């Protein structure tokens, strides 16, 4: 039915991401949701607290050359991380909304029949492996292959860096998901379908082990952020580079197969209307989207300092470690509806996910 190019997320040098609005009714519904939550006159304590669990929202943006193309301008949750490990988990027992057609329901249920029972689905992950200085990626076929018996191992893969299980990141993730659960337990005005949690933790031992030792790590970013000729800003971040050519009002962006799909795993594509002057060269984000793209060259760590430090870090008692850099945010709001009851399907999914994370931590 819809075979236009798949959705891409553009990373803007100002620290935001641009998410193209989906066709109606989904796009306008998501925009309306963000507008409602981030309304400057909002005095609803439920919505004000919800802001803590979303990416910050900076309104909509359209390129001057294509005023009909609308993008949501959102905080880039991965920006503060050096080696972000990212996982996108769809939450709820139903991934179709109350207004879905029989055909749509059938399509969604057949994609993952266990959704009702498990209450969540891993849509993808990208994990930094310290030993090889590379990312391992899994797409949604990985998540759909998980059963009740294997879902625990399937999720624990996200927290394993090639040396050890990052129990600090798991514990911090549980605390953050519990806060979101508390919010859901206390509100009866919104129900969320086909919405996701975005998990991000710092995979680099630069951010963790350096505090434990005075050994200088020789890891440096290979390409400094800075200005190119003609005032173009080139920023490298998580394998996505954006060149913002201001002179002629065009944005040219090439998005590598890394982060981009995390904000919007919407397989359904956009209408084919031309982008006029806006040249968005977004690489096809097909099933291989999770395959890692070539990383920016980095000086590798000298000798075996890294394994030594990593062993120290992994075997330290949790209470000695500083709180790890972890983010858990709600994303994807094309199917949020007003309600007068608790969102039991989402609550069920959160509780099940917490149980699985707790099991990984305990065993």
Q: Residue 316's pLDDT is what?
A: 55
Whether residue 303 is predicted with pLDDT greater than 90 in this model: the reply is no
Binning pLDDT at 50, 70 and 90, where does residue 231 land?
Answer: very low
Least confident of 176-180, 200-204, 291-295: 291-295
Q: Residue 321's pLDDT is what?
A: 54
Q: Nearest-CA neighbor of 9 among 305, 303, 321, 242?
A: 242
Taking residues 319-323, report their average pLDDT: 55
Binning pLDDT at 50, 70 and 90, where does residue 205 land?
Answer: confident
Q: Residue 310's pLDDT is what?
A: 53
Most confident of 90-94, 257-261, 302-306: 90-94
Phi, psi of 263 (to 5 degrees): -75, -25
**How many of the other CB atoms lie within 10 Å of CB of 85?**
26
Q: Residue 267's pLDDT is what?
A: 32
Q: Residue 312's pLDDT is what?
A: 52
| 281 against 69, higher pLDDT | 69
Q: Residue 53's pLDDT is what?
A: 98
Whether residue 63 is predicted with pLDDT greater than 60 in this model: the reply is yes
Taking residues 14-38, report their average pLDDT: 97
Q: Residue 292's pLDDT is what?
A: 30
Whether residue 165 is predicted with pLDDT greater than 70 in this model: the reply is yes
The whole-angstrom distance between residue 260's C-alpha and the CA centroid of its chain comes to 8
For the chain, what is the largest distance between any 2 Cα atoms, rounded to a whole number of angstroms?
Answer: 62
Q: Residue 324's pLDDT is what?
A: 76
Please compute Rg for the chain using Cα positions: 21
Whether residue 127 is predicted with pLDDT greater than 80 in this model: the reply is yes
Q: Nearest-CA neighbor of 75 among 21, 8, 6, 19?
A: 19
With contact defined as beta carbons under 8 Å apart, do 347 and 94 qualify? Answer: no
Exposure string (b/e) for 263-298, b if CB count within 10 Å is 16 or more? bbbbeeebeeeebeebebebeebeeebbeeeebeee
The arrangement of strands across the sheet holding 9-11 comes to 9-11, 16-20, 71-75, 57-61
Binning pLDDT at 50, 70 and 90, where does residue 13 land?
Answer: confident
Q: Residue 206's pLDDT is what?
A: 67
Least confident of 130-134, 145-149, 243-247: 243-247
**Against a cut of 0.95, is the pTM above it?**
no
Taking residues 55-79, report their average pLDDT: 96
Exposure string (b/e) for 140-171, b if CB count within 10 Å is 16 or more? bebbeebeeeebeebbbbbbbbebebbbbbbb
Q: Residue 18's pLDDT is what?
A: 97
Binning pLDDT at 50, 70 and 90, where does residue 116 land?
Answer: very high
Taking residues 49-66, report their average pLDDT: 96
Q: Nearest-CA neighbor of 201 among 308, 311, 87?
A: 87
């Amino acid at each position: 039915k819809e075979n236009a190019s798949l959705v891409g997320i553009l990373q803007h040098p100002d620290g935001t991401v641009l998410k193209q609005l989906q066709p109606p009714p989904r796009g306008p519904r998501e925009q309306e949701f963000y507008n409602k939550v981030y309304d400057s006159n909002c005095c609803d304590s439920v919505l004000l607290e919800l802001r803590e669990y979303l990416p910050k929202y900076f309104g909509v943006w359209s390129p001057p050359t294509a005023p009909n193309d609308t993008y949501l301008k959102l905080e880039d949750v991965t920006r503060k991380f050096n080696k972000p490990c990212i996982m996108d988990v769809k939450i709820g027992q139903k991934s179709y909304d109350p207004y879905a057609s029989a055909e749509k329901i059938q399509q969604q249920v057949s994609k993952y029949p266990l959704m009702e029972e498990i209450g969540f689905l891993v849509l993808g992950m990208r994990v930094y492996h310290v030993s090889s200085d590379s990312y391992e990626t899994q797409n949604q076929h990985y998540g759909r292959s998980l059963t009740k018996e294997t879902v625990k191992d399937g999720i624990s893969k996200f927290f394993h860096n090639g040396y050890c299980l990052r129990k600090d990141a798991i514990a911090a993730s549980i605390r953050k998901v519990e806060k979101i659960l508390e919010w859901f337990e206390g509100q009866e005005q919104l129900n969320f379908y086909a919405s996701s949690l975005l998990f991000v933790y710092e995979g680099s031992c630069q951010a963790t082990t350096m505090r434990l030792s005075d050994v200088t790590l020789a890891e440096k970013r290979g390409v400094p952020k800075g200005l190119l000729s003609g005032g173009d800003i080139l920023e490298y971040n998580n394998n996505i580079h954006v060149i913002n050519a201001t002179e002629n009002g065009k944005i040219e962006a090439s998005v590598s197969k890394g982060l981009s799909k995390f904000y919007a795993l919407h397989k359904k594509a956009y209408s084919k209307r031309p982008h006029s002057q806006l040249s968005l060269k977004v690489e096809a984000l097909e099933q291989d989207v999770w395959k890692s793209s070539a990383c920016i060259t980095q000086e590798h760590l000298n000798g075996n300092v890294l394994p030594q430090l990593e062993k120290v870090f992994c075997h330290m008692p949790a209470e000695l470690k500083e709180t790890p850099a972890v983010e858990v945010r709600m994303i994807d709001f094309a199917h949020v509806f007003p309600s007068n009851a608790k969102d039991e399907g989402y609550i069920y999914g959160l509780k099940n996910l917490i149980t699985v994370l707790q099991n990984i931590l305990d065993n």
